[in-house]
Amino acid sequence: MSNLWITNARVIDPAAQRDGAGGIFIRDGKLVASLSAAQKKRARKIDARGLVACPGLVDIHVHFREPGQTHKETIATGSHCAAAGGFTTVVCMPNTVPPADNAGTIQYINDAAERGAVVRVYPTGCITVGMKGQALAPFGSLKRAGVVAITDDGDCVQSNELMRRALEYAKMFDLPIMDHCQDAAMTVGAVMNEGVMSTRLGLRGWPHAAEDIIVARNVILSECTGAHVHLQHITSRFSVDIIRRAKARGVRVTAEATPHHLALTEDALAGYDTNFKMNPPLRTEADRRALIAGLRDGTLDIIATDHAPHTPDEKDREFDHAPNGIIGLETALAVSLDVLVRRSRFKLPTVVDLLTRKAADILKLPAGTLAPGAAADVCLFDPEEKWTYNAKAGCSKSINSPWHGQSLTGRVKTTIVGGRVVFAGGKIVAEGR
């Protein structure tokens, strides 16, 4: 493995509170403080003038659809999307076919990642067998198989008693529970946010209370058990307030927001475009602003994409029948920079932190730092480059993106995983790790 020397970059490493001009040195797949004169002479140089160099981005909420739905995405193609978006570490959800509720399926995912992924892929396991919300999955064997968290993702556990027992067992195995907060009884047939817009469009609404109730439930159970609960893709301003007050009491909850919920509102559905249909749904401008405020004051901890591929045939249906979800790995950085840095005046290192160190810390992943000795996972991006996103020319097997054809600012130029360049010049340049 050749040595790498990245020069002339603006180096941002929130873990070390570093933000300034400088270089990055890589030897044998690890970050080092420097290279010797002889090593510098032989090293491959990357001139990063005008670029930001930061730790590889970390996303703890993606759907790679393998096993069982490889017509939508595979672990290999999903990893290509991640690399194109500057992500070097991702955590995939267990709602595969069959669900990842046993050690055998987790081993399959790990093997597929080892064979075909160009980034680091970590699996999660199910809370309940078959994600049916009836009986707990075997947390111990899932932990031994390598999961980094437990979640039923899109199928929120409805039984409070079962969720309490899940938290107790998860704490025993030092595994966070990640929860998609949705009271299913309140959202039967719902396809968008409940409000004026849903009434105008004649579509059944998904009330924010259905999220708020489960967020409050999870806060109470976390406080009761002492277990860590991570609240996925928060959308409601009332939920943000619940989480803020819980954190003030020291409750072990963390929470995420997605780029699409930060950037878009229910008004985007006026044209019945199913590429704006997602669960939880896009909400109001007041909710969107509350999410930004939550990221600003630390109530919400990180940004995660909820990358959810669906084929054109699946999305090209009546709004009521089209599946929820969008792809987002390749556009996440640009959208986050636009919403938070340009429009909301966040500092660039703060946004990098939300996408690197803080995300890694939630699941205790070995990522999100440029410290000497760490794996050489690096993202180089131009925060000012304007480009037009073409989902059809992207890395995913699916094209369900609300940003297809849109002009974005901020583009990933190079992604390095373990000292190896895996994305450069707008294309994947390596196959498998």
What is the token pair recorded at 69?
């739905």
Task: Please say whether the beta carbons of 21 and 10 come within 8 A.
Answer: yes
Is there a catalytic annotation at residue 306? yes
- By CB atoms closer than 10 A (0-12, 13-18, 19+), residue 365 is middle
Distances (CA, A) of 149 to 109, 123, 227, 281: 15, 8, 12, 24
Which residues lie closer than 8 Å to 136 by C-beta, 6 or more apart? Answer: 127, 128, 129, 162, 165, 166, 169
Torsion angle of C-alpha atoms 204, 161, 299, 18, degrees rounded to 10: -120
Residue ranges with strand state E in 156-265 = 177-179, 192-193, 205-206, 229-231, 253-257
116: left (phi over 0), alpha (psi -120 to 50) or beta: alpha
Closest CA to 205 of 224, 216, 186, 192: 192
Q: Which of 13, 212, 306, 338 is catalytic?
A: 306
Residue type at 136 in one-letter notation: L
Closest CA to 147 of 167, 166, 170: 170
3-state secondary structure of 118: coil
d(CA 338, CA 358): 20
d(CA 177, CA 149): 6
- The H-or-E segment that residue 54 falls in is strand 52-55
Count other C-beta atoms under 10 Å from residue 324's C-beta: 17
Residue ranges with strand state E in 78-184 = 87-92, 120-123, 150-151, 177-179
What is the token pair recorded at 71?
């017509």
- CA-based R_g, the chain, Å: 21
Count other C-beta atoms under 10 Å from residue 311's C-beta: 16
- The H-or-E segment that residue 261 falls in is helix 259-263
Catalytically active residues, by annotation: 306
